[in-house]
Structure 1
Amino acid sequence: MKIAIEAQRIFREKKHGMDFVALETIRQLQIIDTENEYFIFVKPGKDKCLESTKNFHIIELACPTYILWEQIALPFAISKIKPDLLHCTSNTAPLFCNVPLVLTLHDIIFLEQRQQKSKSLYQNLGWYYRRFIVPPVLDKCKKVITVSKFECNRIKEALKLPNNKITYIYNGFGNHFYNCAETKEITKKYLPDDQYLFFLGNTDPKKNTRGTLIAYSQYVAKSKKALPLLIADLNEAAIDAILNEAGIQEIKPMLRYPGYITNADLPSIYSGAKIFLYTSFRESFGIPLLEAMACGTPVITSNTSAMPEIAGEGALFADPFVPESISDLILKLEEDHVLYEQMLKNGLNRVQQFSWSKTAKETLSLYHSIYKSGV
């Protein structure tokens, strides 16, 4: 087979969830598949995190915007190569592309009512773009991949897709995520404290940053030994706006907000954290759940969407719409040492069920099924 894979954003320095899913899957495909020929299409960037091999060709396409890259540059490049299939990895795909199409649709949050409008122009434009592009693209797909059973059922129900058109393939987590014995050398780049709580927050409304900060303020008020909260990927202006709006400015001295934390440093950050908070309103999978558990850090996550499916017995579950539900679990883990050690062990056991190797093998099997079906 000649297989084309869209991985537009994997060379950017500040990668996020979908970028890592594409990158790690491709890396594993390079290991397990030496027979088929691959063409990986990326936008030029500084982080050359993937290299060509004998049967994997990295093709950089320069184009000024995401939309023009996907709708013009990519189809033009595909027309020259004429692959047997094109796999688009990040929710959207070209409207006009005359090859069999596989789409990874991570979620359909863009079709659901938002808790609040994002303050990020980039996120808002992406939200509207997906609402416009995805429905007509789905009609052209030979197969749709999503990342959890929850999301698979949600997509089938909302978009009336037949069972044979959509499947789910679980994500994995990087092999570099494990319990690090020495963390201070890395953690001191981001905060001075030896112990802390860790929260991956940003301006996306689904991340429940406001509710989590309110929960943290309740924890600080009740705890006898309150730990500082490290918040990744959120700047001071955004934090100030949330604190002022919620009337919890008094917790600001307890917050650490260094900005973006590189993926290479995350294992030490997770390992050094006392508790990891992943308290979104909604997630289609939740790779950070696996990363934290693999690093031996007890996890508090939400009892909504795909998070219970992925975390299983490896996490404690809070109601993300009730801040007290989150703060009570933080206090419980802080005070109950037996429970703390049990959740640490549960997390390490749970992550054994997930790997990028398994993700790649199932993805390759799907490619073969499409090719052999002749559709």
Structure 2
Amino acid sequence: MRIGIEAQRLLRPQKHGMDVVALELIRALQSIDQENSYFIFVRPDQDEACLNLRDNFTLVRVTAFNYIHWEQVALPLAIRRYKLDVLHCTANTGPLLGNVPLILTLHDTMFLTPPAAGSTATAYQRFGNQYRALLVRRLIARCQTILTVSSFSRQQIRSDLNQPQLAMEVLHNGVSPRFSTPLSLAQRCRAQTRYQLPARYFLFLGSADPRKNVKNVLRAFLLYGTIDETTRLVCSGQWPAALSTWFTAEECLQLSRRCQFVGYIRAEDLPAVYAAATVFLFPSLNEGFGLPILEAMACGTPVITSTLTAMPEVAGQAALLISPHRPAELAGAMQQLVQDTVLRQTLIQRGKQQINQFSWTASARQLQAIYQRYATDVKAITPTDYRLADSVIP
């Protein structure tokens, strides 16, 4: 069988969300399937080392002027050369043209929601959301299978698209074994040195996107600081541009002394950064899944997350759930997990059990079975006949 996987941004150095999901699924498919031929369609970029492909997996580099041209023009032209049995588009959108059976992973429909007040989305990002909003209804009409990552997302997508009977299958994300693998001293030292990690810290992986809730995280940390001035807050990303409009000058000074924004945390460093944290904070306002919850649990770090959207589904009984709109509630949960060692150990043990429900290998097997529905009687061609695909296609 000849399977195409669209993973346009797979090679970009700073991967997020859907890029990570596509990468982990491809890695898991390689571990379980040495028979079918896979063609991974990507846009050329810097991170060539992220995949070590087996003989039956071929990287097809497709160039284009921009995201839309890549997806709607360059990708369909490239696909025609490989006589695919099925094409899987992994990141909410895909080509409208083509006669290859199409599987779409629709992670969520957040792009249908107008930008929140204070949004830092660029003009390009806003245009991208408008493009997705215009495309998605036409695209799902031509899909043979629609996948999503959680039961919550399935319900939300049906509601947002006003299609309560829309057929969708849930394909959960997983958690990589590298997060539960014991860390070497070198790994710990590298992370500590690279990000100047303090001895005790809360970890927050967010961004300037308002739904990540950085303002309330900082507000909660200020409240927590009235009882504990020693534990720091380590945040990914950059200092929020609106900080001085959110807080008084004195509050900004307190935050500057006790918070660290460390920029992008590299994938190879994430396990060590999670493992060294006292508590992981993930009080997001909206998530289609919430993969960092599982990653922190796998590293043995207790988690505080949100009562909203998909996060309770992912966290189960293995995290403290709080209202992300109430900084005092988050501060109270932070205090509870620092002071109550029994609760900490209970959540850590529950987390180790919770992650067993989410396996990339299990998801890859489910995905392989979905692909198999589209098997044809096309004469098999050995993967080596197509190694020329490992080049740039204009």
Range of TM-score over shorter length = over 0.9
Letter in 2 for 1:166: M
SS of the residue 1:176 aligns to: helix
After TM superposition, the structure 1 stretch with the greater mean CA deviation from structure 2, 95-104 or 49-58, is 49-58
Matched, 1:79 2:80: yes
1:198 aligns with 2:203: yes
Q: Distance in 1 between matches of 2:165 and 2:4?
A: 25
Q: Which amino acid aligns with 1:91?
A: N
Q: CA deviation at 1:220?
A: 1.2
- 1:297 to 2:301 alignment: yes
Corresponding position of 1:228: 232
Instruction: Report the Cα offset of residue 78 of structure 1.
Output: 1.0
Closer, same or farther: CA 123–254 of 1 in aligned 2, 3 Å: farther
TM-superposed CA distance for 1:243, in Å, is: 4.4
Superposed, which structure 2 residues align to 1:109-258 within 5 Å? Answer: 109-116=110-117, 118-121=119-122, 122-161=124-163, 163=165, 165-178=167-180, 180=183, 182=185, 183-221=188-226, 223-232=227-236, 234-236=237-239, 239-247=240-248, 248-249=251-252, 250-258=254-262
Partner of 2:340: 336
Alignment partners' CA distance in 2, 1:53 and 1:251: 48
| Kept after mapping to 2: 8 A contact 1:86/1:100 | yes
Distance in 2 separating the partners of 1:50 and 1:90: 18
- C-alpha displacement at 1:206, in angstroms? 1.3
Structure 2 counterpart of 1:57, one-letter code: T
- Structure 2 residue runs of 5 or longer lacking an equivalent are 377-394
Shift of 1:185: 3.5
Instruction: State the partner residue of 2:281.
Output: 277
Partner in structure 2 of residue 108 of structure 1: 109
Deviation at 1:258, TM superposition (A): 1.6
The runs of 5 or more residues in structure 1 that have no matched partner are none
TM-score by length of 1: 0.93
Please provide the CA RMSD for this pair.
1.7
1:126 Cα shift? 2.5
Seen in structure 2, the aligned counterparts of structure 1 residues 361 and 162 have a Cα distance that, compared at 3 Å, is: farther
Kindly indicate whether the alpha-carbon contact (under 8 Å) linking 1:279 and 1:318 is maintained by their aligned counterparts in 2: yes
- CA distance in 1: counterparts of 2:200 and 2:134, whole angstroms: 45
Distance 1:313 1:184 in 2: 32
2:27 matched residue in structure 1: 27
TM-score (norm 2): 0.89
Aligned residues: 368
**Structure 2: which amino acid aligns with 1:175?**
P
Distance 1:242 1:59, change over 3 A: same
CA distance in 2, matches of 1:189, 1:54: 36
2:365 aligned with 1:346: no
- Residue type at the aligned position of 2:321: F
User: Structure 1 residues 323, 123: CA separation in 2 closer, same or farther (over 3 Å shift)?
Assistant: farther
- Rate the CA distance shift 1:326–1:123 in 2: closer, same or farther, 3 A: farther
Cα pair distance change 1:240/1:217, threshold 3 Å: farther
**2:17 pairs with 1:14:** no
Q: Could you give the per-residue CA deviations for residues 189-229 of structure 1, whole angstroms, max 9, x where no partner exists?
A: 102411111001102221111111111111112x2344111
Once residues 2 and 14 of structure 2 are traced to their aligned partners in structure 1, the CA distance between those partners, rounded to angstroms, is 30
SS at match of 1:188: helix
3-state SS of 2:325 partner: coil
Structure 2 residue matching 1:189: 3-state secondary structure? helix
| Higher RCO (CA 8 Å, separation ≥ 6 residues) | 2
